[in-house]
Amino acid sequence: MSPVKAKPKSKAKARSKATTAAYNPLDPKRVAEILKRLDATYPTPKCALTHKSAWELTVATILSAQCTDVRVNMVTPVLFTKYPTVQDFAKLDPEALEPDIRSTGFFRNKAKSVVGAARKIVNDFGGKVPQTMQELLSLPGVARKTANVVLGSWFGIADGVVVDTHVYRISRRLELTKSDTPEKIEQDLMKVIPREKWIDFAHQLIWHGRKLCFARKPNCAECPLENLCHAADKTWSTVEIHKNAKP
């Protein structure tokens, strides 16, 4: 009996495998094209949190944890009218601040963080928000996200990449990282995104997440990055889907 011959693979399947094998999501040309399209779509990205000083931005960013920027922007104008300076916040007991920020959620912890940060800034930094990552991280309630927001948006210092929920989701969809913690994602992005783009890139992804790349049912048909994105949860696609490219 003659041996059974294996069926030859179709040319289409062979091409598909070859394409997948050659694909490198971190190819500098691909990253550059992503940045180019983000620049064209969001040419002047700005922090969405309303603020008039480094201190106001620090407070707003602390309050934005697990809360929308829209809600924070409703709370802070009243808050900063009531307590105009960092010294005013430093004099408060956290409990006195709680009613003013209750609608932002987790208000007890946030009140402790804001008052604690104010006291440290007054006592250790002469009433001025510090301008280094190490010093900012010494403030109660301030982790790398908040520090990066303040350094980048107020001082124009690119010491890292802001990783909020939008940056987390979209950078994974775009396969710029496979990590699943903000800290690791930030380190991954710092390796592939040019330093001079760190500040704008984060803001651009945040705006992109608000306008098109939603957590549920992203508007892929209108997305300028559509044919560069192989995300598993795309709602419409002209390119191959990668099952591991997901938020």
145 catalytic residue (yes or no): yes
217 in Cβ contact with 236 (< 8 Å) = no
Nearest to residue 150, comparing CAs of 62, 75, 54? 54
Instruction: Give the number of C-alpha atoms closer than 13 A to the C-alpha of residue 164, restricted to the C-beta side.
Output: 27
Q: What's the one-letter identity of residue 158?
A: A
Q: What does the block give as tokens for 49? A: 């949190």
Query: How many angstroms separate the Cα of 5 from the Cα of each of 2, 102, 104, 208?
Result: 9, 72, 67, 52
7 catalytic residue (yes or no): no
Give me the catalytic one of 100, 110, 145, 200: 145
CA–CA separation, 150 and 62 (whole Å): 11
Q: What does the block give as tokens for 210? A: 């608000």
Give me the catalytic one of 69, 100, 159, 164: 164
Q: Known catalytic residues?
A: 145, 164
